[in-house]
Amino acid sequence: MSNRQPMGLVLDAVTVFLSAVLLFQIQPVYSKYILPWFGGAPQVWTTALVFFQTMLLGGYTYAHVLSSRLRSRNQFLVHGALLALSLFFIPVMPADSWKPLAGEAPTWRILAMLAATLGLPYFLLSSTSPLVQAWLARFRHGAVPYRLFSLSNLASILGLLSYPFLIEPMIGLRHQFDYWAVGYAAFVLSIGLLMASRWWASRNEPEAALPAPASESTGSGETAPPNWADRLTWMAFAACPSILFLGITNQLTQDVAPVPFLWVLPLSLYLLTFAICFEYFDFLPRLAIRWLTVFFVFLLGISISFGLFAGNYVAVISIYCIGMFVASLFCHGELYARRPAPRHLTQFYLMVSVGGAVGGIFVGIVAPYVFSSYWELNIGLGLCGLLVFWVAFQGTKLQTFTRMPAELQTLPALCAAALVLAMPLVAMRSGQIETARNFFGALRVLVKGESPDTFRQLAHGSTSHGLQFLAKDRNCESASYFGPDSGVRRLLRAVRDINPKEGMRIGIVGLGVGSLAANNPPKDRVVFYEIDPLVEHFARSRFSFLSACSEGTQVRMGDARVVLESEPPNRYDVFVLDAFSGDSIPMHLLTAEAFALYNKHLAQDGAMAVHISNRYLDLMPVVKSAGEKQGFTVRFIRSGGDSTKGFFPALWAVLVRDQRLLAHESLEGPIAATTQPDTKLLWTDDFSNLLSALRK
């Protein structure tokens, strides 16, 4: 057998490496492809991750049952048959028939679509690492199977990081599925060769027996089989970082943008901590990591609850990701310290995957429908603080660190956990009268200002979706980003003067509180396109622009592109794009195909206004490129803010064909500096890269 060991070990490593790369590379590919179908909502990624983690649990369960209940040759037969069947699911790109219907719950459609199109290949990829490790432990005396787990995580990081930096900028989205299918075929060949070599070895020699339990090193000094206390401990240390990385990803994609880079970065760091802890555990300064974890639990709690670094995306991303990395390093280090002997490794990985899946289900499915705000991240941080407290408390009982008083080992972690859990209550701003949350995000209704300038505001995170003054004489006065000096109001005045008609047709993507329904002549027909039913609920129940300030207003529910594609040309005189939630950008609304669709619904002399105010992204080159491709002249208008009057600074792009509009006095306001169109920033449905739009 020794002559065959090198080749066998190479196949072990190659198979695990390929499976891990494919396992994590398909995640951003698939999620980005379906993101436009669900309005570009950041929750698409979180929901997809719930599926991926659940499939990982399924794969680990399958590996545990297969390796513990069947002889090796039967394992190879069953697994080989499933691998052959999975090839019929390739390629895994979903058909257009999976696109959602208006008013449908997106979560369950996403999960069903992933299961039907990607389920079996992903399930088999998920089972590969624990299966190959179990085979290695059974057939190779002295081999260290846990090292393959470290290799698997490093390969996963490579698969993830290659996406935003290599694959996304160089390969069209549809072709990415084709390349992944080729990689999957190579994986099936590799594991087929591995199983064949194991089968051939087992024909002439018996399977190597595992070492006796008494001779095994469990990592915790125990040789007894794991009990339920061990299993629950593994689950807790796996669930906590899962909650943290998903919560951090949610926070970043809500506040910055739902783009692959911000999906990949937290997940890569999360996987990196697995690789470090399972390969270099003996070099980790565990006590220092424990104290750093307490510090970052407290810092992240302050940052999330009070917006400590709002407006600086580099600081936001850095603090969130470093804090998550340190906390995950602590949890995964303690997890590895409690690992069992190799004979129990599939059970260990099963419990780890259960913990990861529990964390994913909590953040991706439970939280949006149970909490009215983003509580799950604070809960994850609080749980992390409690785990530090528990580890430190165990240390004091065992007198591990006798030089340090017990209070100094335990109380800081307990205090940090309590404070982080209480911070959302402290951070709630005065005047908050209602909060609600769904798949598309969390909304708050606030009352601000002093009489006679008191107003009601709809907020998404730190971004306003519009406001309305409570005084009767100002009830129909539009403010926020839509004041009289804003680009959209200037364009509307210019169009009315240059092309006067009785009753304009105005299409608006993004309802907000309905501010743009106000200050229009009674015969105007205004149509809003809104994907979030919660926004419409608040616009009608807490604000009166739609009911009291306009007569000819409609609201059409669903993603704007999906709805517009199903409608005949509307011949709008003015089309307004104002669909951004928080600072996140639904990229599918800014592609060349999207602007061609808007152009189809414009009258021959129609014009457009696009709201591109953003703290993190410079969208002027993107809009200029897409607009000029459709034959528009693009001008950028920046308006100032006046907090006493409820006006916010705003940047609007105005797109016109009739040059008389540009000469109108309404459009002669301050013009923002812009760049010439860059073809690399002409986004399409098949090719877009948000990294190039980040502000320097």
- Extents of the domains making up the chain: 1-206, 225-425, 479-693
Between 220 and 10, name the one with better pLDDT.
Answer: 10
Report the sign of the C-alpha dihedral through residues 518, 594, 462, 644, in that order.
negative
Question: For residue 351, what are the CA distances in angstroms to 360, 581, 588?
Answer: 14, 37, 39
pTM across the whole model? 0.80
pLDDT digits (tens, 9 = 90+) for 429-481: 556 778 888 888 888 888 887 777 788 888 876 677 888 888 888 888 888 88
Q: What's the 3-state SS for 164-192? A: HHHHHHHCCHHHHHHHHHHHHHHHHHHHH
**Do the Cβ atoms of 436 and 448 come closer than 8 Å?**
no
pLDDT of 271 strictly over 90: no
pLDDT of 609 strictly over 70: yes
CB-based contacts of 262, cutoff 8 Å, min separation 6: 249, 252, 253, 256, 317
Q: Which CATH architecture has domain 479-693?
A: 3-Layer(aba) Sandwich (3.40)
Domain 1-206: which topology?
A: Growth Hormone; Chain: A; (1.20.1250)
Neighbours of 692 (CB within 10 A): 15
Tokens at 507, concatenated: 């299409």
Most confident of 146-160, 375-389, 415-429, 623-637: 623-637
pLDDT for the residue numbered 257: 62
* DSSP structural state of residue 42: T
pLDDT digits (tens, 9 = 90+) for 79-131: 999 999 999 999 899 998 888 876 677 888 999 999 999 999 999 999 998 88
Rounded CA gap, 282 and 330, in Å? 13
Of the candidates 322, 437, 533, the residue with the CA atom closest to the CA atom of residue 46: 437
SS3 label, residue 46: helix
Tokens at 465, concatenated: 């979706």
**Do the Cβ atoms of 254 and 586 come closer than 8 Å?**
no
Most confident of 204-213, 241-250, 310-319, 447-456: 241-250
pLDDT digits (tens, 9 = 90+) for 536-585: 999 999 998 988 887 778 999 988 988 999 999 999 999 999 986 555 66
Query: Is there a common fold for 1-206 and 479-693?
Result: no
Question: For residue 117, what are the CA distances in angstroms to 39, 96, 156, 408?
Answer: 21, 12, 21, 53
Tokens at 297, concatenated: 């639990």
CB-based contacts of 580, cutoff 8 Å, min separation 6: 510, 586, 611, 614
Rounded CA gap, 469 and 451, in Å? 10
Neighbours of 451 (CB within 10 A): 7
Rounded CA gap, 579 and 596, in Å? 17
- Please report where in the chains the tokens 């290599």 appear, as a residue: 166
pLDDT of 673 strictly over 60: no
Sequence-ordered alpha helix ranges (H) in 452-573: 487-498, 533-541, 545-548, 560-566
pLDDT for the residue numbered 213: 39
- When pLDDT is averaged across residues 237-244 and rounded to a whole number, the result is 92
CA angle 447, 39, 363 (to 5 degrees): 70
- When pLDDT is averaged across residues 616-635 and rounded to a whole number, the result is 89
Q: How confident is the model at residue 410 (pLDDT cuts 50, 70, 90)?
A: low
